[in-house]
Amino acid sequence: MGAIFFYIFIYFAGYYGLNLLNMLTVRPLIRNRHLVALLPVYAVALTHAYILVSSPPPQGTDITVEYALLVFITLPVVVVTIGAIYFMWNSKGGHPDDAPARSAASNAGTDTHSAGEVLEKTADKPSDSTASTQESSLASTQDKPKNN
C-alpha cells in the first residue's frame, strides 16, 4: 500500500513540475503532461527494481524476489499508468455521454448577437402569457358599461 502512494507522489511531483515548467516558459514546451509525468515514475521503478534484484532480501522476511517485484513495483506502476491514462482521457472530454452538451455549448458560442440586442428584442415583444392576460383584461373592460 505504501508503494502505491510513493509512486502516486512521484507522478504528481512530475506532473506539477511540468506544469511549473510550462508556466515559466513563454510557449508550453510539454503539451501532454499526463503521459510525460510517467517518465519519472518509470525511472524510479527501474531503479527500484534493479536495487531489489541485486540485493538480498531482508532477513526474517519470507518473500521471493518475484513477489516483491510484482507487489511493490509492477502493481503500483500499472495503477499509476492507468490513472494517468484515465486523467488524460477525462481532461480531453472523451466521454461519449456528454457529446450533445458539448455540441450545444459550441453552437451557443456561434451566436453573434450581443446581450443588449437580445434584451431589446425580448422587451419589444411581449411573451405569450403576458399578451393573453393583456387581451383578456382589455376584453373585460370593453364589455363593462360605464357608470356615470
- 59 burial (CB, 10 Å; 0-12 / 13-18 / 19+) is exposed
Contact between residue 28 and residue 1 where contact means Cβ atoms under 8 Å apart: no
Look up residue 144 and give its three cell numbers.
363593462
Tens digit of pLDDT for each residue in 23-50?
998 888 888 888 899 999 999 999 999 9
Tens digit of pLDDT for each residue in 108-120?
555 555 555 555 5
pTM of the predicted structure, to 2 decimals: 0.59
User: Would you state the pLDDT for residue 54?
Assistant: 93
Q: Which range has the top average pLDDT, 31-35, 81-85, 137-141, 144-148?
A: 81-85
